Structure 1
Amino acid sequence: MKSKLDKMLSNHGKLVHSEGVKIVSHTQRDVEEWVQHTVMIEGCDAPFKFRRPKKFRCLKGNRVNMTYYAETEKVAGFEIEIMKVVRIKRF
């Protein structure tokens, strides 16, 4: 029987799932009624972003499983690659 994650990955070809990645930086800031979270993981230069309605316990130093897809964002006239997090689970 397929898990929810397996179904999600098979339905959306651009999704990537990483297990046991270490968070080296985690910032949170208010954006309207949401809290924008940005995490950096060990061995990757691209920021991983997600939004939640509330603040999250600091993830720095923890290992997580993440499901995400690549996206580009324009910052100060430059396009940068970011990872849009769909699912994050700490263990």
Structure 2
Amino acid sequence: MKSERQKLVEKHRQLNQTDNVKVMSHVQREEKDSDWIRHTIMLEGIDVPFIYRRKQQYQSLKGARVNVTYYRHVEDVAGIEFETMKVVRIKRS
């Protein structure tokens, strides 16, 4: 039987999956003009931030091992491209 993660990745080919990776940094900030909390994590061996939003703050994931389902996102700011990873699903390993 296929897991939820496998079904997501098969249905949306642009999705990527990384398993059992260590969280090096986890920052939580309130978004301006919104009641959402923006979570930014940095993963071991990857130099691109992973970003997701939630309605409330969570326990810090720093040092934890996680499984992450995400897709690549590129923003153009003042003519410069910034790459981030937009998290669809994150779960402790």
Runs of 4+ in 1 over 6 A off after TM superposition: none
Segment drifting more, 70-79 vs 17-26: 70-79
Question: Considering only aligned residues, what root-mean-square deviation do their CA atoms show, in Å?
Answer: 1.2
Once the two structures are superposed, the pairs formed by residues 53-72 of structure 1 within 5 Å of their partners are: 53-72=55-74
Q: CA deviation at 1:75?
A: 4.1
**Which residue number corresponds to residue 49 of structure 2?**
47
2:38 maps to: 36
Give structure 2 stretches of 5+ with no counterpart.
Answer: none
Q: Distance in 1 between matches of 2:41 and 2:12?
A: 23
Q: Residue 9 of structure 1 corresponds to which residue in structure 2? A: 9
Could you say what secondary structure the match of 2:2 adopts?
A: coil
Which segments of 5 or more consecutive residues in structure 1 lack a partner in the other structure? none
Question: What TM-score, normalized by structure 1, do the two folds share?
Answer: 0.93
> In structure 2, what is the Cα distance between the partners aligned to 1:47 and 1:76?
19
How far does residue 3 in structure 1 lie from its aligned partner after superposition?
Answer: 1.9
Percent sequence identity over aligned pairs:
51
- TM-score computed with the length of structure 2 as normaliser: 0.91
1:75 to 1:27, Cα distance in 2 relative to 1, 3 A: farther
Give the secondary-structure state (helix, strand or coil) at the position aligned to 2:61.
Answer: coil
